[in-house]
């Protein structure tokens, strides 16, 4: 065994090895040395346990380079999203437009007027530019930006109703991804939840009967991640506003996904729009920036100036505020909404949601020959009609007609599918599909660079 230990090369000798010079140039001496020492220790442990040298012993420079490259690989890797879910929470939700990407790039390369007023050289407010655009697009008096919609809800509750009661319909006490629940946010904000109505039916009289001296807010939550059908009834925002005005109570709405356009005009399922609720008199409306809006992760609150001022002055606002990159991307995204005639092409989310099933079918037919030639020996490939999903947490029950290329093992062994899916997940640019009904499905709705997919999947 001593003889085996003596075969381990010295670190100094390895650092002088010509095969390691490229790694030293690219990764630096410190990182390369740490990696070689770790490998040396690993080799000693391997000898102690197995009385043999590790398999990679004959290729120290190559193994060191492979490990360093793996360490330097970004944790946020670009992937092909062929899952069939356009706004996929785990894959980053909305893709930014080229306008937004350029805006972020510009704000990173030089100082910007984040909190600087050019008119009088004083400190300005970082929400100002985005706030102006949001007021133009929604008809609101003012706007406030925080890091996500959960934060928006927390800030509204903590600012407007601390220590007081907030009335919400039982059917709207939703849970979204990551076990985020409305009742939990209420407690965190220091509010007392008052549930009214039933899971499927809530009436104005239910809210009316719950209003008391300790009532601070009336709240509605848009149930964008589930749907109840059958014997149902819900109170409209307009009805709640009328009730709130009679009792001098603000009405707030958590819209969740929040769309600034009429989705039905693009052949998509209807979604309530912030501007509709503002016009109905709702005091504050919150929604996400990275879902149907198609921008960066952000929580957007629009509504009455006096209430927005309260939010801006609350200590939580500083903890929840967004940085210059988010504001730059959000402003550039909102600018696109000022040109509705080009929005469908300019906004990736809308472009992918509105792709025709015929265009997707044609794409599948173009891809099939190369994929069949590469994978036809192991799998039966076919083009199959399927249904895409708008979002995993946003409108998950709504479906869009699409087409996928499916892979079914010739021998019917499911292990082959799992192995193929795993192999694709470890490609330089991973390909993410879904396994269902004994097949691996590549839903093509979100595929915009088919040449890049062929380069990735076809050796």
| pLDDT of amino acid 227 | 66
Residue 86 near residue 446 (C-beta atoms within 8 A): yes
Compute φ and ψ for 284, nearest 5 degrees.
-140, 140
Q: What is the C-alpha end-to-end distance of the chain, expressed in Å?
A: 43
In this structure, what is the dihedral angle of CA atoms 277, 279, 282, 283, given to the nearest 10 degrees? 130
Q: Specify the number of domains making up the chain.
A: 3
HEC readout, 210-260: HCCCCEEEEEEECCCCCCCCCCCECCCHHHHHHHHHHCCCCEEEEEECCCC
What's the half-sphere exposure (Cβ side, CA atoms, 13 Å) at 30? 0
Is residue 109 domain-shared with residue 3, that is, in the same domain? Answer: no
In a shared domain, residues 329 and 424: no
Tally Cβ neighbours within 10 Å of residue 53: 15
Do residues 370 and 280 both lie within one domain? no
Phi, psi of 443 (to 5 degrees): -75, 125
Domain match, 159 and 112 both: yes
User: 269 with 340, same domain?
Assistant: yes
Shared domain check, 228 and 118? yes
Boundary-marking domain end, from 290, 320, 346: 346
Same domain, 210 and 313: yes
From 346, 375, 404, give the residue that closes a domain.
346
Q: Which CATH number fits the domain that encloses residue 255? A: 3.40.640.10
Distance CA 117, CA 413 (A): 66
Per-residue pLDDT of the chain (459 residues; tens, 9 = 90+): 668 899 999 999 999 999 999 999 999 999 999 999 999 999 999 999 999 999 999 899 999 999 998 888 888 999 999 999 999 999 999 999 999 999 999 999 999 999 988 888 888 889 998 999 999 999 999 999 999 999 999 999 999 999 999 999 988 887 765 556 788 888 888 899 999 988 888 899 999 999 999 999 999 998 765 667 777 788 889 999 999 999 999 999 999 888 999 999 999 988 899 999 999 999 999 999 999 999 999 999 999 999 999 999 999 999 999 999 999 999 999 999 999 999 999 999 999 999 999 999 999 999 999 999 999 999 999 999 999 999 865 555 678 999 999 999 998 777 899 999 999 999 999 999 999 999 999 999 999 999 999 999 998
Check whether residue 166 and residue 143 sit in a common domain: yes
Q: What is the CATH number of the domain that holds 452?
A: 3.90.1150.110
Residue 173 structural domain: 98-346
| Beta carbons of 335 and 248 less than 8 angstroms apart | no
Closest to 445 (Cα-Cα) out of 403, 415, 395, 392: 403
pTM as predicted: 0.90
136 and 251 both lie in a single domain: yes
Residues 128, 15 share a domain: no
Same domain, 338 and 356: no
The residue out of 313, 346, 379 marking a domain boundary is: 346
Strands 142-146 and 299-303: antiparallel
Residue 100 CA to residue 96 CA, distance in Å, equals 6
Same domain, 119 and 259: yes
């Amino acid at each position: 065994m001593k003889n085996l230990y003596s075969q381990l090369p010295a670190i100094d000798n390895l650092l002088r090895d010509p095969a390691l010079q490229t790694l030293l140039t690219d990764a630096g001496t410190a990182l390369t040395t740490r990696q070689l020492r770790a490998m040396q220790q690993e080799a000693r442990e391997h000898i102690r346990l197995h009385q043999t040298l590790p398999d990679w012993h004959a290729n120290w420079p190559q193994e060191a380079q492979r490990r360093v490259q793996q360490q330097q690989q970004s944790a946020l890797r670009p992937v092909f999203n062929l899952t069939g879910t356009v706004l996929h929470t785990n894959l980053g939700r909305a893709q930014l437009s080229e306008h937004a990407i350029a805006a972020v790039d510009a704000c990173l390369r030089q100082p910007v007027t984040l909190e600087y007023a050019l008119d009088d050289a004083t400190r300005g407010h970082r929400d100002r530019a985005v706030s102006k655009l949001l007021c133009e697009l929604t008809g609101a008096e003012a706007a406030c930006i925080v890091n996500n919609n959960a934060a928006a809800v927390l800030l509204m509750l903590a600012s407007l109703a601390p220590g007081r009661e907030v009335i919400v319909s039982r059917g709207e006490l939703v849970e979204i991804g990551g076990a985020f629940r409305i009742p939990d946010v209420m407690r965190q904000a220091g509010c007392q939840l008052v549930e009214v109505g039933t899971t499927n039916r809530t009436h104005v009289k239910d809210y009316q009967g719950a209003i008391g001296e300790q009532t601070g807010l009336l709240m509605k939550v848009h149930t964008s991640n589930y749907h109840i059908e059958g014997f149902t009834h819900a109170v409209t925002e307009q009805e709640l506003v009328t009730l709130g005005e009679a009792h001098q109570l603000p009405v707030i709405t958590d819209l969740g996904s929040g769309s600034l356009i009429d989705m039905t005009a693009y052949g998509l399922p209807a979604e309530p729009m912030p501007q509709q609720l503002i016009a109905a008199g709702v005091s504050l409306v919150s929604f996400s920036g990275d879902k149907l809006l198609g921008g960066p992760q952000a929580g957007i609150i629009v509504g009455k100036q006096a209430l927005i001022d309260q939010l801006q002055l609350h200590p939580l606002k500083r903890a929840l505020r967004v940085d210059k990159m988010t504001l730059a991307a959000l402003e550039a995204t909102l600018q696109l909404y000022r040109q509705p005639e080009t929005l469908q092409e300019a906004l990736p989310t809308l472009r992918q949601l509105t792709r025709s099933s015929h265009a997707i079918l044609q794409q599948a037919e173009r891809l099939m020959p190369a994929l069949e030639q590469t994978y036809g020996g192991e799998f039966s490939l076919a083009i199959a009609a399927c249904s895409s999903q708008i979002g995993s947490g946003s409108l998950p029950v709504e479906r869009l007609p699409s087409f996928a290329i499916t892979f079914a093992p010739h021998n019917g062994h499911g292990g082959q599918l799992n192995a193929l899916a795993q192999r694709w997940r470890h490609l330089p640019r991973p390909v993410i599909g879904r396994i269902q009904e004994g097949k691996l499905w590549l839903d093509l709705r979100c595929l915009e660079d088919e040449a890049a997919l062929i380069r990735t999947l076809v050796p």
